[in-house]
Amino acid sequence: MGAGYRRNLEIARPPLNATPTKEGPAVNEDIDSETVRLVGADGEMIGVVPLEEAIEKAFDYGLDLVAISPNADPPVCKILDYGKYKYEAQKKKNEARKKQNVIVVKEIKMRPGIEEHDYQVKLKAMNRFIDEGDKVKVTLRFRGREMTHQELGAKVLDRVRVDLNDVAKVEQFPKMEGRQMTMVFAPN
């Protein structure tokens, strides 16, 4: 495993200056067709024209020829400002991403014998999560002999329900899963 091994690796590696693939619709000379179905800058259908003539018309307007539907026969191309077209497309994409509301479930873990200060800290965190629009899953973990006193856990979860009553609604009432009792809250 000497120098010959390294040389083989260098040969197998793809070149660093490989041309990136172009994303988006074909523009002007990149359109791969001899004739195109041309749509004018104001949206009116001009008809089927040779590609060179369509590019000339676009340049006469000071705009670009963009392939709107490249898979059609002949491809449908429109005269428009490509920079503005890309900007509008990106803007629509960002708006759609903003409107997409991802609901996150935050989990708060407690024990049945939780102390008052610890409870208040957890309650404050739950209020913050609910104000941010997230769901909150409260998990009460029982250890050892605590399993025989599940009513203590039910009391803690009931207290949480009462304390969060004005800001959240119960989405899932308390249920046992193994050694854990869980309850889920959703913002009002």
- Say whether pLDDT at 45 is over 60: yes
Task: Give how far Cα 94 sits from Cα of 22, 99, 150, Å.
Answer: 21, 9, 48
pLDDT given for residue 120 in this prediction: 96
All domains of the chain, ordered by start, with CATH? 28-97 (3.10.20.80), 105-187 (3.30.110.10)
Task: Give how far Cα 29 sits from Cα of 25, 58, 80, 131, Å.
Answer: 12, 12, 15, 53
Name the DSSP class of 179. Answer: T
- Say whether pLDDT at 99 is over 90: no
Helix (H) or strand (E) holding 88: helix 82-99
Mean pLDDT of the chain: 87
- Say whether pLDDT at 177 is over 60: yes
What is the pLDDT confidence band of residue 73, given thresholds at 50, 70 and 90?
Answer: confident
pLDDT given for residue 117 in this prediction: 97
What is the pLDDT confidence band of residue 123, given thresholds at 50, 70 and 90?
Answer: very high
- Say whether pLDDT at 2 is over 60: no
pLDDT given for residue 102 in this prediction: 76
Return left, alpha or beta for 37; rule: phi > 0 is left, psi -120 to 50 is alpha, else beta: beta
pLDDT given for residue 161 in this prediction: 93
pLDDT given for residue 76 in this prediction: 93
Percent of the chain surpassing pLDDT 90: 54
